[in-house]
Amino acid sequence: MKRILLVLLVCWIWVTPDPLLAQPSSQPLIDGAMKECRTGRVAQDKTRRVAHFEKGRALAEQAVVLDDRTADAHFALFCNLGELMRVDGELNVTSIWGFRRMMKELDRTLELSPDHLDALSAKGTFLVRLPSMLGGDRGKGEKLLQYVLQKEPQSINARLSLAKSYCADGRHNEAILLASEALDLAQAEQQDDFAPEAARVLAQLRTNAAKAN
């Protein structure tokens, strides 16, 4: 009888799933959200871009609900919210609620993962581009972007953001060099979501430098 009970107990342990193992992973949702964010950046028309970013936002929101303590889930949500706010090319901060929600997700990412380089790059970008009344601080932003480049020399976004900041400060040669490096990296790594933007930024910086001279 004892042997039968032991066999039944072993079988029950074998077929009963571990509650921890049974929990669904948020990673597929995060991967899907980031894929939509990248795909939306290279979409050729506004309707398709918005559709990708909306889908990415929905996937990221599911990931956050599933696991609120995963930094990448919050960054994926920030990515899609941010792209929705700049779907026409430049960041549109007329929606204060939308802007605050986007920044909340970025800050939550850094709260959970203080050395999240993509989030630090995004934070630095906002600091150098936003007016002080919205929390901008060019000096602090440039330091953040420089830190990201030290940690991740192949960061394209950090290079472009730093290049724009240098240009605004009249440091045209340094800006053009950074943007040229960003374009070379984007093309070498076949990052189609960054290459067109890098080319546009480089062309604009060269125009600005020519006017300044």
Q: How confident is the model over 84-96, as pLDDT tens digits?
A: 998 876 666 567 8
Residue 59 pLDDT: 98
Residue 198 pLDDT: 93
Q: How far apart are CA 172 and CA 180, in angstroms?
A: 12
For the whole model, what pTM was predicted?
A: 0.84
CA proximity to 105, closest of 88, 83, 137, 136:
83
Question: pLDDT-based confidence at 16, cuts 50/70/90?
Answer: very low
Residue 183 has pLDDT above 50, yes or no: yes
Question: pLDDT-based confidence at 5, cuts 50/70/90?
Answer: very low
The overall average pLDDT reported for the chain is 88
**Residues in Cβ contact with 190 at an 8 Å cutoff, skipping those fewer than 6 apart:** none
Average confidence (pLDDT) over 194-211: 93
Contact 101, 81 (CB under 8 A): yes
Written as six digits, the tokens of 136 are 């901008």
194 three-class SS: coil
What is the per-residue pLDDT across 121-161, written as a single tens digit (0 to 9) for each? 999 999 999 888 888 999 999 999 999 999 999 999 999 99
